[in-house]
């Protein structure tokens, strides 16, 4: 069975400061990891994914995530937060390669960036 934990329901950060949204995962094989963002009253937008290779993955809107196999983590980061980054962020995992394409989502983290 695969699972994802997002330990923080909400993260508050001041504009211009770095932000981190935490995610830890559990899969029996190799993990394929994803981050999605959901702005108010919108669908989910794909931000970035880790499949293999470099542990630091760069994605849309200046976001990046670091895969850490020993800590089974895939934290989302951005060096300088913007008010417009305020949204709901979901981490997701599936087992790969060879597994099905059934994503398991975390419970989501609400990011609030304030002036």
Partner 1 sequence: DTEVTQTPKHLVMGMTNKKSLKCEQHMGHRAMYWYKQKAKKPPELMFVYSYEKLSINESVPSRFSPECPNSSLLNLHLHALQPEDSALYLCASSQSNRGGVGNTIYFGEGSWLTVV
Site for partner 1 in 6-65 (CB under 8 A): 32, 34, 36, 41-46, 49, 51-52
**Contact in structure between 24 and 73 (CB atoms under 8 Å):** yes
In three-state secondary structure terms, 94 is strand
Q: Considering beta carbons, is residue 49 or 77 the nearer one to partner 1?
A: 49
Dihedral angle, C-alpha 13, 68, 36, 54, nearest 10 °: 110
Q: Considering beta carbons, is residue 13 or 37 the nearer one to partner 1?
A: 37
Cα dist. 18→37, 52, 99 in Å? 17, 26, 35
Distance of closest approach, residue 9 Cβ to partner 1, in angstroms: 9
| Site for partner 1, rule CB under 8 A | 32, 34, 36, 41-46, 49, 51-52, 88, 90, 94-103, 105-108, 110
């Amino acid at each position: 069975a695969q699972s994802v934990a997002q330990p923080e329901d909400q993260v508050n950060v001041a504009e211009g400061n770095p932000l981190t949204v935490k995610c830890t995962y559990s899969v029996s094989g190799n993990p394929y990891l994803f981050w999605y963002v959901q702005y108010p009253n919108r669908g989910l937008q794909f931000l970035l994914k880790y499949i293999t290779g470099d542990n630091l993955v760069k994605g849309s809107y200046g976001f990046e995530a670091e895969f850490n196999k020993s800590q089974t983590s895939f934290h989302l980061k951005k060096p300088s937060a913007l008010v417009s980054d305020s949204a709901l962020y979901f981490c997701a995992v599936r087992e790969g390669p060879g597994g099905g394409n059934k994503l398991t989502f975390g419970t989501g983290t609400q990011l609030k960036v304030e002036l």
